[in-house]
Homo-oligomer: A and B are copies of this chain.
Amino acid sequence: MNQIKVGIVGYGNLGRGTEYALEQAADMTLAGIFTRRDPASVRPRTGVPVYTMEQVERFQDEIDVMILCGGSANDLPHQTAELAKFFNLVDSFDTHAKIPEHFETVNKASLESKKISVISAGWDPGMFSLNRLYGQAILPNGADYTFWGPGVSQGHSDAIRRISGVADARQYTIPSESALARVRAGEAPELSVREKHTRECYVVSEDGADKTAIEKAIKTMPNYFADYDTTVHFVTQTELDQNHAGIPHGGVVFRTGTTGENGKNRHVIEYRLSLDSNPEFTTGVLVACARAACRMNREGMSGCKTVFDIAPAYLHPENGDFLRKNLL
């Protein structure tokens, strides 16, 4: 049997999304969930067994690939390299500036264990990165653009919640329609931070809080909001819960470039994602990369990989004959 046996590490939004995504993968089976919490407190929807992280080593021969569903701030920086000593694995490490360092430590562990680890899988980093790479490779004489949204930024929502007097908040990042139109037309514009995105904030204030002060604190917050045109809407907790409970996201990667005589011919490549659920789409990428990790390791490969290093055919359940006949 070539059925791929999968473990999930962490059971938050990503872990639950992975549990759903594995039901759409006929060649993969969920074998267990691993948690740092008390296993009795974790109730997986599918009833799959839950184990503690301390038990993980004993599953070396039973699990083909681990999908790490922890966070980039606190979990993955140590967890990925630790688990890479024993398992093929996939993570969604997304702290861009620390990716080279993360790669080095995980690569060392995976080379020693002769396993495959795929880091930074998801949509950005992940599918957006792939489209930046393909675009540059095909149109070397050109410009890159990445726009995010419309979608919820967890980091910006958290930043608002830390302001005194704020009870709850949700922040949407919105790409500028006029900037998108200019790039799409092949103008190759230089765009400032302010020209590319706007920010919309839905804020629940605490009783008696100074709304003017909150709005000012948001709009002047360095890095997060000061460089953007920001709109603040005060809403009730009920309104926030009813109208802003989803976690949609998405965005667009463009590569524009010129070719031929005096660069007279313009070309535009546009890759756009429109996602009802950011974590559930991310888990679709994680599961496909888990399939690839397992297959690459079965062929004798080892070490740390990213989406850049995975021949696309490894991600799809069908074989080469099928893919050439039906998808090429």
Q: Are A316 and B133 closer than 8 Å at their CB atoms?
A: yes
Copies of this chain present = 2
The verdict on A96 contacting chain B, using a C-beta distance below 8 Å, is: yes
Q: Are B306 and A277 closer than 8 Å at their CB atoms?
A: no
The 3 closest A-B pairs by CB, nearest first: A265-B276, A137-B315, A265-B277
Q: Are B269 and A273 closer than 8 Å at their CB atoms?
A: yes
Q: Are B271 and A270 closer than 8 Å at their CB atoms?
A: yes
In the complex, the chain B residue whose C-beta lies closest to that of A138 is B284
Q: With A269-B273, A273-B267 as given contacts, are A130 and B325 in contact (CB-CB < 8 Å)? A: no
Chain A positions 241 through 282: 1 when the CB is less than 8 Å from some CB of chain B, otherwise 0: 000000000000000010111001111111111111100110
Q: Are A310 and B311 closer than 8 Å at their CB atoms?
A: yes
State the Cβ distance, A321 to closest chain B Cβ, in Å. 7
Most chain B CB inside 10 Å of its own CB: which residue of A275, A276, A317: A276
Interface residues on A, range: 35 or more
Q: Are A276 and B267 closer than 8 Å at their CB atoms?
A: yes
In the complex, the chain B residue whose C-beta lies closest to that of A307 is B312
Instruction: Chain B residues near A280: list those with CB within 8 A.
Output: 259-260, 265, 267
Q: With A281-B259, A284-B259 as given contacts, are A99 and B324 in contact (CB-CB < 8 Å)? A: yes
Q: Which of B120, B261, B284, B308 contacts A320 (CB 8 A)?
A: B308
Q: Are B328 and A129 closer than 8 Å at their CB atoms?
A: yes
Q: Are B309 and A311 closer than 8 Å at their CB atoms?
A: yes
Q: Are B323 and A308 closer than 8 Å at their CB atoms?
A: yes
A contacts, CB < 8 Å to B: 17, 20-21, 24-25, 96, 99-100, 103, 120, 125, 127, 129-130, 132-134, 136-141, 184, 186, 257, 259-261, 264-277, 280-281, 283-285, 288, 291, 306-313, 315-317, 320-321, 323-325, 327-328
Q: Are A20 and B259 closer than 8 Å at their CB atoms?
A: yes
Q: Are B259 and A140 closer than 8 Å at their CB atoms?
A: no
Q: Which of B96, B136, B275 contacts A328 (CB 8 A)?
A: B96
Q: Which of B274, B283, B315 contacts A133 (CB 8 A)?
A: B315
Q: Are A129 and B285 closer than 8 Å at their CB atoms?
A: no
Instruction: Chain B residues near A103: list those with CB within 8 A.
Output: 324
In the complex, the chain B residue whose C-beta lies closest to that of A185 is B274
Q: Are B313 and A311 closer than 8 Å at their CB atoms?
A: no
Q: Are B277 and A259 closer than 8 Å at their CB atoms?
A: yes
